[in-house]
Amino acid sequence: MAATVTIRLRELFWRRGPGQARARVSATAAGSHHRLTVPVLLLALGFSALCGWVLWQARRATEARAVEVATSVVNSLSSDIERNIELLNLSLEAVVEGVRLPGLAGLEPMMQRRVLFDNSLTARGVTSILVTDETGRVMMDSKRINPPHLNISDRDFFQVHRDRPLLGSFVSRPFVSRTNNRPMIAVSRRITHEDGSFGGIVVGALLQDYFKELFKSVALGAQGTVTLARIDGTVLMRWPYKEDFIGSDLSRAALFNHFPRAPSGHYQSTAISDGVKRLFVYSQVGALPLVIVIGQSVEDIFAPWWKQALATGALVGVLCALTIVLTALLRRELIRRTLAEKKLTVLAATDGLTGLANRRHFNRTLASEWRRVMRKRAPAALLMIDLDNFKQYNDRHGHPAGDTLLRKIAVAIAKQAKRPSDLGARLGGDEFALLLPDTTLSDAADLAERLRADWLLEGERRDSGVGLSIGIACLVPALGASPEDLIVAADKALYRAKRFGRDRIELADIEAGSLAPDETEMVPSK
């Protein structure tokens, strides 16, 4: 029973006594350590962000290196192709000039071939140079004395010169030779008569084997590709070699979204041929109507970076997790320490028997509230409470019963302290006080009546004969007054209650701002 009463008193005191509430103590302790937790979390996030930025820069550097390597390879291949086609083109120009020489038609076939083809430059992958008339019939062959009976008027490289007199050299679509069944492309030039009419073409055929040998030496990974195309999108060669891909149309590929804006550059896209996402680096082949593209698998490019990123990310994650765990443990210990310190602080301000505030805390709170109501010019009321005949009860029933009775009156007092600013206290022995800031004298008297009514309902009070004497004082603080004036006035009223018969309520007769207690009044014995 005694333990239950003590617990109830402490709950009431925590709600209205020092610190206001136990929950507030815990919340304050937890909140104060957010100043530790938040910076640590921000530090962990900042460190993670820094590592993420470093990894992102490493990814960009990896991509830049891949672009640099591919650009170097593209430039090398482009230079080789440009030089080889230029050699073939110079040979074709020499043949065109030779065809226009006067008297060529009167020479023997052997001499005609020597005049036309002996000055031709040798280009790699060229099978032969042919000369046709205006109908497309082959008239001369650089490799044979007797040219094949062949008409090429249906080929695109013949028709384009026939229809476009001002066109210079032309690179054809891929085709298969009718003489040796080998795939090749043609480079051709127009022959024009002195009157400006079409006189046929000079054409040199480049074997696709030349491009195969050139491209297969490029090491770009298992999913790397090299593609040579005309600027209209026609594929001339692709490595790895796929026969059905040669001659296909790439005009809808992402390349031709970038090429019209810049003759060289790079981009990432998913290839329409196999669905692999690649980093493509492209460049026009000199001034020729050709573009060469190198594609490297994005997966292959970033595979080493992903290993580094995963390892770094795992390490950073472990470090951040350890930091957070250690911070949580430290925070928990700090909260425990803070709660223990606050508990000790509250216990130092609490009466150990009743759970009400002790005299020290009462004096400190009274001084604080006195200054507050003085600023507001509001009244402050004080109830001084004393148990009548308590000594006789204690002698008759023993100290444990007396302690139980003190706890019960403490519960009754705490129940009346309903506002956060109200404070119930045990001043010592069987003397109690109830501080009521912002309360008028009449309101304080009503509260005292309720307190006595609650006490009278206690069955043990009727059996014990222990009554309550209450003295009430109310004062609006003025300059020159002090909290002790209010205590003295309430004490005087309490002593009058005892002198006039005990178990009653007396009001102090004082004027606001001044007190003149009668020092001659005698206090009856308890």
pLDDT score for 28: 52
Nearest to 42 by CA among 30, 32, 54, 34: 34
Q: For the segment 383-393, what is each residue's pLDDT rounded down to a tens digit?
A: 999 988 888 88
Distance separating alpha carbons of residues 471 and 56, to the nearest angstrom: 79
In one letter, which amino acid is 155?
R
Percentage of the chain lying above the pLDDT 90 cut: 34
From 348, 374, 391, give the residue that closes a domain. 348
Same domain, 362 and 497: yes
Distance separating alpha carbons of residues 242 and 238, to the nearest angstrom: 7
Please report whether residue 14 resides in a domain.
no
Same domain, 279 and 391: no
Same domain, 304 and 390: no
pLDDT score for 495: 93
From 348, 368, 398, give the residue that closes a domain. 348
385: CATH: 3.30.70.270
Q: For the segment 412-450, what is each residue's pLDDT rounded down to a tens digit?
A: 899 888 888 899 999 988 899 999 999 999 999 999 999
Q: Looking at the predicted structure, is the pLDDT value of residue 233 above 80?
A: yes
pLDDT score for 397: 86
Give all strands of the β-sheet with 225-230 in edge-to-edge order: 235-239, 225-230, 290-297, 277-284, 264-270
Please report whether residue 182 resides in a domain.
yes
Distance separating alpha carbons of residues 366 and 516, to the nearest angstrom: 20
Same domain, 443 and 466: yes
407, burial (CB in 10 Å: exposed 0-12, middle 13-18, buried 19+)? buried
pLDDT score for 117: 74
* 8 A C-beta contact, residue 517 and residue 488: yes
Mean pLDDT in residue range 245-261: 89
pLDDT score for 8: 44
Same domain, 325 and 403: no
Same domain, 356 and 343: no
Collapsing DSSP states into helix, strand and coil, what is residue 351? coil
Residue 121: pLDDT band (50, 70, 90) is low
420: number of Cβ within 10 Å: 10
From 314, 348, 382, give the residue that closes a domain. 348
Residues 6+ apart with CB under 8 A from 525: none
Same domain, 154 and 123: yes
Same domain, 303 and 420: no
Please report whether residue 144 resides in a domain.
yes
Distance separating alpha carbons of residues 85 and 91, to the nearest angstrom: 10
Peptide bond into 517 cis (omega under 30): no
Please report whether residue 361 resides in a domain.
yes
Distance separating alpha carbons of residues 390 and 503, to the nearest angstrom: 12
Nearest to 70 by CA among 259, 210, 279: 279
Please report whether residue 475 resides in a domain.
yes
Give the residue, 310 or 519, on which the prediction is more confident.
310
Dihedral angle sign, alpha carbons of residues 390, 395, 397, 401? positive
Collapsing DSSP states into helix, strand and coil, what is residue 485? helix
Nearest to 348 by CA among 18, 6, 21, 3: 18
Whole-number Cα distances in Å, 79 to 89, 135, 218, 224, 249: 15, 35, 14, 20, 24
Same domain, 278 and 234: yes
Same domain, 316 and 458: no
Same domain, 369 and 344: no
Which range, of 73-82, 97-106, 336-345, 463-472, averages the lowest pLDDT?
A: 97-106
Residues 6+ apart with CB under 8 A from 26: 339
Distance separating alpha carbons of residues 203 and 157, to the nearest angstrom: 8
Mean pLDDT in residue range 171-197: 90
pLDDT score for 194: 85
Report how many domains make up the chain.
Answer: 2
Give the Cα-Cα-Cα angle 231, 232, 234 (nearest 5 degrees): 95
The pTM (predicted TM-score) of the whole model is: 0.59
Q: Looking at the predicted structure, is the pLDDT value of residue 193 above 90?
A: no
pLDDT score for 510: 67
Range of the domain at 140: 19-348
Q: How confident is the prediction for the chain on average, in pLDDT?
A: 83
Q: Looking at the predicted structure, is the pLDDT value of residue 14 above 80?
A: no
Collapsing DSSP states into helix, strand and coil, what is residue 350? strand
Dihedral angle sign, alpha carbons of residues 370, 372, 375, 377? negative
- Paired tokens of 102: 């006067």
Please report whether residue 299 resides in a domain.
yes
Please report whether residue 513 resides in a domain.
no
Distance separating alpha carbons of residues 130 and 189, to the nearest angstrom: 11
Mean pLDDT in residue range 270-280: 83
Please report whether residue 305 resides in a domain.
yes
Residues 6+ apart with CB under 8 A from 471: 383, 384, 490, 491, 492, 493, 494, 495, 496, 497, 505, 506, 508
Which range, of 1-10, 236-245, 381-390, 509-518, averages the lowest pLDDT?
A: 1-10
Same domain, 359 and 271: no
Q: Looking at the predicted structure, is the pLDDT value of residue 15 above 60?
A: no
